[in-house]
Amino acid sequence: MLDQGAPPQSRTSAASPSLGPIASLTRRKPVERLVAEGGQGEGGSLRRSLGLWQLTMISIGATLGTGIFVVLGEAVPKAGPAVTLSFVIAGLTALFSALSYAELAGTIPVAGSSYSYAYATMGELVAWICGWCLVLEYGVSVAAVAVGWGEYLNELLDGTIGVTIPDALSAPPGDGGLFNLPALIVVLLAMAFLLGGARESARANTVMVCVKIAALVLFCAIGIQGFRSGNYEHFMPLGMAGVSAAGATLFFSYIGFDAASTAGEEARNAQRDLPRAIMLSLVIVTALYVLVAAVAVGAKPWQRFNDSEAALAQIMRDVTGQGFWGTLLAACAVIAIASVVLTVLYGQTRILFAMSRDGLVPKVFARVHPKTGTPRANTVIVSLFCGVLAAAIPLGQLADATSIGTLFAFALVNIAVVVLRRTRPEMPRTFRVPLSPVLPALGLGFCVWMIGSLSAVTWVVFGVWMAAGLVFYFGYGHRRSRLATPES
């Protein structure tokens, strides 16, 4: 049933059976209806149990650790010591988009994140494209981070019992192995936590976030002892192009600050707490990233990073001359990176939950277990997909594919916040982007610039992914959309 309080243009967009083929692609879902359906699934409802602290920890858990523990070793060879500048550029890009996310999360507090924001402002086709990008962003990043977890697990095993998992079982095809078993294991462990419920998962994540912050502070305290100013003499050896390329890769490190927005239907006071959680988490993460990167490059010449996925543990070992500290950091990293897998996997399931409720993907993804209040089938399907992906694809290809999907979705969010300001200026907003539309325009510009810095191979992968998504949409989602049926 249509919301009678929705504006005329929103009511018309929902009555899509009478629309032509082109107009049906731009049908919009009224904001009031998005909010009214919050938490409702097939056979049950999500439970509102998360406060500001848990939401902030979800965002930090999904963000902090990925770039520092995993991707730093890949980014330093691209930018040299100027990798610290790359972190700042990536952080600014994330900040502009975070402002837009904060406004929309407070206005439309639902599980779909930027997919739902696009559905309310730019229509179904754009919403689908955004949602498909989010599937790439969250699903592939789970796999990418799981690969890095396996690297640190080997560091931990080597430092404690003197053995490591053979390459055949700890590296994917193309990296000298057959199957990355540790990456699959950590995804399955995260799945087990999520099946227990959102509150229980949030508690486990909070503990892991505290461990990872303590680990990074410990690294800085020890790494600064090996700091050599000479490592910064040639600050930008590969020029601004290298800084830009590293920034595009490191943007992968910032995906996750929007994870709180995927919890909109499980937050106790979503309109108040979501904007605060998004901004607070991004500030904390950016400060730690820049500090740790500065210490890492000061303690180790940039030419010696050579794409190591366990770079921080190696630096601790080199600075102290003892294996204990590197092993301790590896143990913390094993816990820390697991929290990224947990929270990003959570975000992926909630986005598919929202898309399924709208009819754009199969109903199984919106089915909620009545006892735990979680989308169980959704969680199992997504976990198995991400686990197999992590076991079979090298890290570098995963990270870049994730970055382009993220940047595309963020660009749409910056557009959506301006559109909603124009079409629904009367709506109450618990947070407003300052200097709009200037800052959203800057956010859009930064996203476009960083997308252009990614490799041609990444663009090809993204093109194939989007083509597959459009085939699925026109073959399934467009006809089954709830806005396409008379009863909707």
Q: At 241, is the pLDDT very low, low, confident or very high (cuts 50, 70, 90)?
A: confident
Q: What value does the mean pLDDT take over residues 365-383?
A: 90
pLDDT, tens digit (0-9, with 9 covering 90-100), for 271-322 = 899 999 999 998 899 889 889 989 999 998 888 876 555 678 788 888 888 8
Q: How far is it, in rounded angstroms, from Cα 36 to Cα 108? A: 10
Segment of 84-93, 173-182, 251-260, 323-332 carrying the highest mean pLDDT: 84-93
Nearest partner of 150 among 334, 418, 3, judged by Cα: 334
* Sign of the CA dihedral running 149, 155, 160, 164: positive
Q: Which two tokens stand for residue 234?
A: 């040639």
- Quick one: how far is CA 338 from the chain centroid? 14
Q: Is the pLDDT of residue 196 over 80?
A: yes
Nearest partner of 311 among 155, 98, 82, judged by Cα: 155
For the CA atoms of 22, 405, 287, 63, what is the dihedral angle to 10 degrees? 110
Give start and end residues of each alpha helix (H) in 224-302.
239-250, 270-299
Q: Could you count the other beta carbons within 10 Å of the beta carbon of residue 268?
A: 14
pLDDT of residue 396: 61
pLDDT, tens digit (0-9, with 9 covering 90-100), for 99-120 = 999 999 989 988 888 899 999 9
**Contact by Cβ (8 Å): 244, 79:** no
pLDDT of residue 14: 42
pLDDT of residue 245: 84
Q: How far is it, in rounded angstroms, from Cα 442 to Cα 449? A: 10
Tell me which of 144-148, 194-198, 263-267, 467-471 is least confident: 144-148
**Top-confidence residue, 57 or 65:** 57
Residues 6+ away with beta carbon under 8 Å from 471: none
Give the H/E segment covering residue 53.
helix 52-63
pLDDT of residue 488: 46
pLDDT, tens digit (0-9, with 9 covering 90-100), for 405-454 = 888 888 999 999 999 999 999 888 989 999 989 999 999 998 888 788 77
Residues 6+ away with beta carbon under 8 Å from 320: 222, 225, 326
Q: How far is it, in rounded angstroms, from Cα 352 to Cα 139? A: 11
**Contact by Cβ (8 Å): 8, 106:** no
Q: What value does the mean pLDDT take over residues 359-367?
A: 93
pLDDT of residue 307: 52
pLDDT, tens digit (0-9, with 9 covering 90-100), for 73-100 = 778 888 889 999 998 888 888 888 899 9
- Quote the percentage of the chain above a pLDDT of 70: 91
Q: At 18, is the pLDDT very low, low, confident or very high (cuts 50, 70, 90)?
A: low
**Contact by Cβ (8 Å): 441, 127:** no
- Quote the percentage of the chain above a pLDDT of 90: 29
Tell me which of 105-119, 206-220, 371-385, 473-487 is least confident: 473-487
AA letter at 244: S
Q: Is the pLDDT of residue 243 over 50?
A: yes
pLDDT of residue 413: 93
Q: Is the pLDDT of residue 358 over 90?
A: yes
pLDDT, tens digit (0-9, with 9 covering 90-100), for 212-233 = 898 889 889 998 998 898 889 8
Q: At 16, is the pLDDT very low, low, confident or very high (cuts 50, 70, 90)?
A: very low
**Contact by Cβ (8 Å): 61, 339:** yes
pLDDT of residue 362: 94
Q: Is the pLDDT of residue 204 over 80?
A: yes
